[in-house]
Amino acid sequence: MFIPCSSRPQAFFGCSFSIGSLALLALLLGGFSAPALATPILTNPLPFGRWRGESTAGMAVLDVLTLTPERVRWGNAYNGRCDRAYIVEELPSGQVTYPDNLVPPASPTDLRFRVVRLRLQPGPCGRDAKVQLAIPLDGSDRMFVNSYAADGSLTGWYGELNRLP
């Protein structure tokens, strides 16, 4: 596409363009984009989908955890529901275990985890301010979930969740 030079004072690499031409060029090249949200661009996408708790606590409190690019949801009528937006905090990956794993491996293992924490927005859901997802790096359809209060104290350990179809 040819954008003709003009004598207007908006110089660009030795050539002058009208504001309209510059705006069109910026739009075509992606220069005008929506402001970035607080969620950083991750090297690997989060494990979006529906996940069922397998432990007693996972079934009773989380029931089914649903993770979308915009929201995280869990709960039931008895123990309450949570539906929040979130900001992602990625922790160092490749760990043999994950923070606050109450049942560490009983024997040596090569299994490593990717760990992310979702800071709930606009604020805590009950006493939970963050939800930690520990995703095994073995390609399985499972993850481990913990929750934390705003002060960083552990509020829930929900064990293993398995992906639902």
pTM higher than 0.75, yes or no? no
> Do both 12 and 66 map to the same domain?
no
Asked whether residue 85 is assigned to any structural domain, the reply reads: yes
Question: What domain range is 158 assigned to?
Answer: 49-163
pLDDT confidence of residue 45 = 82
> Do both 14 and 75 map to the same domain?
no
pLDDT confidence of residue 14 = 43
> Do both 79 and 144 map to the same domain?
yes
Asked whether residue 137 is assigned to any structural domain, the reply reads: yes
pLDDT confidence of residue 103 = 74
Which two structure tokens, joined as six digits, stand for 19?
A: 């504001």
| Low-confidence residues of the chain: pLDDT under 50 | 1-42
> Do both 107 and 65 map to the same domain?
yes
Domains: count for the chain: 2
Go through 8-34 and write b for each residue having 16 or more CB atoms within 10 A of its CB, e for each that does not.
eeeeeeeebbeeebbeeeeeeeeeeee
Asked whether residue 120 is assigned to any structural domain, the reply reads: yes
